[in-house]
Structure 1
Amino acid sequence: MAQALERPEGSWAWVVLLSSMVTQGLTLAFPTCIGIFFTELQREFQASNSETSWFPSILTAMLHAGGPLCSILVDRFGCRVAAMLGGVLACLGMVASSFCRTLSELYITAGFITGLGLCFSFQSSITVLGFYFSRRRPLANALASMGVSLGITLWPLLSRYLLEDLGWRGTFLIFGGVFLHCCICGAIMRPMATRVAAKTREVPHPPSKTPAPSCLAKCGQAIQRHLAFDVLLHNAGYRVYTLGIMWMILGFPLPHIFLVPYAMRHGVDEHKAALLISIIGFSNIFLRPLAGMLAGRPTFAGHRKYLFTLAILLNGLTNLVCTVSANFWVLVGYCLVYSVSMSGVGALLFQVLMDLVPMDRFSSALGLVTVLESISILIAPPLAGLLLDTSNNNFSYVFYMASFFLISAALFMGSSFCVLQKKERQGRQAEAEEASKGHPVEGADGSEKRLCSEATSVTSI
């Protein structure tokens, strides 16, 4: 079926951009405020640090792991339906969680159901921008990502305010109503107009003589379409990136969860402790677009993966500040420096992946990365909680743990990329030497061969 898809970057496209910004602030930024409720939930359910940590880990893991399922919904029903369904699920999960009597029930309601709903709304808000923007797509993505920074700024402040007046149950009930705004944002994401050729509507498709594929074959085709296992097998650079991200995620989300309890345990006022996360979010409003513009300069076109590893390394080293002092102003300085490295990681995370894989496989490659990193997200907070339980609530070990995973991931990715680039350079030199030893009359053919080999190497690093 021949279809022509219109891409009007007119006034309604900017309304869709605004709805995408709000949706990202409501969804992807929400897990950063969970640390506000950590101590309250632990006291309510008389649970250990490890048991309480399963709640934010399940929530964040579902926010990432539901990507392939969201992709199927978008393909079948469109971004509008997927985003509105996500808002309904997130609302139901939070409302149900306000009546939970055990942590296990909280895992299912606020963890699994809400996390899946947030995933549907969040990834739909990213996908819809690709339909409404073409020439200005990088600008649209950069502006939409500012919603995450705004959400990180506002969610902790709102959580602290509601927690004091309504308790965690009343706060979760209010959050359910807040997530219904994802349905309003989803309703704005109306489908793009398509023009279908008349012949395709008049002439039916001839019946296929080949047998219909089995259910197992269809499942295999769906997995191949949404999860790039073939790229993982043949692209060494993508393997390095995927393994490095999985290892990095074991430490990256820990400060967002444990920074507030750490500050409160060392005598910092509850309001000031909640303000620390807001400082990170507010700084990212300005730092993330700057990092994106810096990485987009032609000078760094072939070196973005090294800037990415440098940002991860700085993020890991910054966490060591919390092992030295828990003074409020020291933690404020930590949040400001942490924001610089966090903005670099956030701005380059998807851009580096675009540099490593062909764009026609980017969606499936991203789907596989999000599924694999959700495993790390699911493991990291309970592992840190277990470390707290065994060390008599010594939060320094948590930040040591975060630093270890981030620094080792940066060193692994940086050194591996250097080795792969060296091998690629040696391969090009060997091909050039072989071509130079050929017959002179074949110079034109040899140049075509060299150009082809260079084009192939770009997509395999």
Structure 2
Amino acid sequence: MPQPGEALPRVSRVQDRGWAWVVLAATVLVQGLTLGFPSCIGVFFKDLQSDFQASNSETSWFPSIMTAVLHAGGPLCSILVERFGCRLTVMLGGLLSGVGMVASVFSRSISQLYLTAGFITGLGSCFSFQAGITVLGYYFIRRRALANAVASTGVSIGLTLWPLISQYLLDEMGWRNSFLIFGGLLLNCCVCGAVMRPIPLPPPASSSPSSSSPSAEGAPLSNGNPLQHKEQPHLSRSAACFQTLQKYLAFDIFCKNKGYQIYTIGVSWMVMGFVLPLIYLVPYAILNGVEERKAALLISIIGFINIFMRPMAGLLSGLNVFTGRRIYLFSAAVMLNGLSNLICAASAEYSILVLYCLIYSVSMSVVGALIFQVLMDVVEMNRFSSALGLFTILESITILIGPPLAGLLVDLTGHFSYVFYASSFFMVSAALFMGVSFCTMEAKNKLKGTQKPVPENPARDKYAEVPTEPESDKNGSPAAVYVTSI
């Protein structure tokens, strides 16, 4: 039976070295399999539409549901991680994803596809992705920022490979057999989850000898699944419900923190347009005479540039000149992303579409690298997890309704170009709203000439730079979950 003093060396031998790098490699693969997967749906858009005799709006609900559930399942994933740990949650997600895609092979209507490939696969992808990111916080302490940056490249690799694989499989065996193979590929998340084994944590340094001498069976595990739970005082049902909402959905922060309120509304509006090109670019190109494989290559170009640009964007945002100003860099990237859609709407020539992909991918990389970094700047780190829960829930609602509305626009007008005009409108208006609102808020604070009273939340009522480095780990858990979901 190990003594308390023996636990610390064991943890130091695991974190930031050795098996931690295997876990990081597994997380990269999980991100490529889950977050990168929805990018290939546009390849199947016309075939699904033809097979099910569905309109553009009806067909677009399928990728919308998948992407929305992938984001909205965050609070449920957090509960599973606390109860069962990251390892089992990732494996459960892989199982759900695979089962959802295999079940979709037997769909006889587009509505059945909403449930199987949309809801079930989306929920499984959410569990695998977010639990995989969470486990990095336990395996990496000193090199956590590096680990998160490397893990985010998995999304870009997935964006690059999924469309090419999808187009090849579609040409060779049709969409049903392709989905069957996808089910087998997504089951690899179970393999990745298996290597994310929990590690024992040392007792808190401040613990007294009498309170820090549990047996090995009672030592907490560093994947969010302690073997012993503290006894909670008896609470009424309403109080327990309120406490749960407060923990996972930060409505109090939304009401009191002006910066969080502006940013959440702005990003929720932004994503209505942000996801549209990834869904409609391939069918738009094919409709305008571009060969199918070349059309699928457009999404791969976006993913390939993201592999290099996303880490560079992260390094750029870390420069001292952007300290306290990341929101403006983010707003500028959103503005550029929105304006780039006008290029695509103006012409469907392949060379113009390639130029569009280059500009779109650069701005997309900056948006993806900063979206959660800015959120860390406007809320305290000890409330980041709950702020992230509400943030992703609201974001998922607009992700859900954006593509179907765009599909309805195509059905009414008969022109795919209106999708890109709509995307440009959402992106540009969101960029202006966030940039002007934060600028106005800072100007008001300067006119007051005083800082707000010392509060519980220093980010309240103004945009404030909040340290993103975690405090010394009291129980080995990460101070925040650094998520890269865009």
TM-score, scaled to structure 2: 0.86
Distance in 1, matches of 2:450 and 2:104, equals: 63
Match of 1:456 among 449, 455, 458: 458
1:215 aligns with: 237
- With over 3 angstroms needed to count, the CA separation of the structure-2 counterparts of 1:142 and 1:57, relative to structure 1, is same
Q: Quote how far apart the aligned CAs of 1:192 are.
A: 1.8
1:417 aligns with: 438
2:48 aligns with: 41
- Residues 247, 386 of structure 2: 8 Å contact kept: yes
1:95 aligns with: 102
- With over 3 angstroms needed to count, the CA separation of the structure-2 counterparts of 1:220 and 1:263, relative to structure 1, is same
- Residues 36, 160 of structure 1: 8 Å contact kept: yes
Match of 1:401 among 377, 398, 422: 422
- With over 3 angstroms needed to count, the CA separation of the structure-2 counterparts of 1:55 and 1:205, relative to structure 1, is closer
1:130 aligns with: 137
- With over 3 angstroms needed to count, the CA separation of the structure-2 counterparts of 1:265 and 1:206, relative to structure 1, is closer
Secondary structure at the aligned position of 2:22 is classed as helix
Distance in 2, matches of 1:257 and 1:105, equals: 20
Q: Quote how far apart the aligned CAs of 1:424 are.
A: 2.0
- Residues 379, 457 of structure 2: 8 Å contact kept: no
TM-score, scaled to structure 1: 0.91
Read off the aligned partner of 2:122 and give its amino acid letter: G
2:63 aligns with: 56
- With over 3 angstroms needed to count, the CA separation of the structure-2 counterparts of 1:234 and 1:270, relative to structure 1, is same
Distance in 2, matches of 1:217 and 1:387, equals: 45
Q: Quote how far apart the aligned CAs of 1:135 are.
A: 1.5
Structure 1: 5+ residue runs without aligned partners?
432-448
- RMSD of equivalent CA atoms: 2.3
Which of the pair has more CA radius of gyration?
A: 1
The reply on whether 1:326 has 2:348 as its aligned counterpart is yes
Distance in 2, matches of 1:206 and 1:136, equals: 30
Read off the aligned partner of 1:218 and give its amino acid letter: A
Read off the aligned partner of 1:342 and give its amino acid letter: M
Distance in 2, matches of 1:147 and 1:50, equals: 30
Q: Quote how far apart the aligned CAs of 1:217 are.
A: 2.3
Q: Quote how far apart the aligned CAs of 1:315 are.
A: 0.2
- Residues 323, 400 of structure 1: 8 Å contact kept: yes
Secondary structure at the aligned position of 2:443 is classed as helix
Q: State the percentage of identical aligned residues.
A: 61
The reply on whether 1:351 has 2:373 as its aligned counterpart is yes
Q: Deviations over 1:257-314 (max 9, x none)?
A: 0000000000000000000000000000001110100001112111101000000000
- With over 3 angstroms needed to count, the CA separation of the structure-2 counterparts of 1:118 and 1:430, relative to structure 1, is closer
1:113 aligns with: 120
- With over 3 angstroms needed to count, the CA separation of the structure-2 counterparts of 1:424 and 1:261, relative to structure 1, is same
Distance in 1, matches of 2:178 and 2:289, equals: 24
Q: Deviations over 1:27-71 (max 9, x none)?
A: 011111100000000000001001101100001010001000000
- Residues 258, 460 of structure 2: 8 Å contact kept: no
Q: Quote how far apart the aligned CAs of 1:137 are.
A: 1.1
2:359 aligns with: 337
Distance in 2, matches of 1:124 and 1:259, equals: 31
Q: Quote how far apart the aligned CAs of 1:409 are.
A: 0.2
2:293 aligns with: 271
- With over 3 angstroms needed to count, the CA separation of the structure-2 counterparts of 1:223 and 1:207, relative to structure 1, is closer
- With over 3 angstroms needed to count, the CA separation of the structure-2 counterparts of 1:205 and 1:239, relative to structure 1, is closer
Distance in 1, matches of 2:229 and 2:150, equals: 43
Read off the aligned partner of 1:301 and give its amino acid letter: T
Instruction: Write the mapping of 1:26-425 to structure 2, written as runs, cut at 5 A.
Output: 26-195=33-202, 199=211, 201=214, 212-392=234-414, 394-425=415-446
Read off the aligned partner of 2:447 and give its amino acid letter: Q
Distance in 2, matches of 1:373 and 1:249, equals: 7
2:222 aligns with: none
- Residues 424, 457 of structure 1: 8 Å contact kept: no
Q: Deviations over 1:409-461 (max 9, x none)?
A: 0000000000111122223x246xxxxxxxxxxxxxxxxx99x5899357852
Structure holding more helix per residue: 1
Q: Quote how far apart the aligned CAs of 1:219 are.
A: 2.1
Distance in 2, matches of 1:323 and 1:283, equals: 21
Read off the aligned partner of 2:238 and give its amino acid letter: L
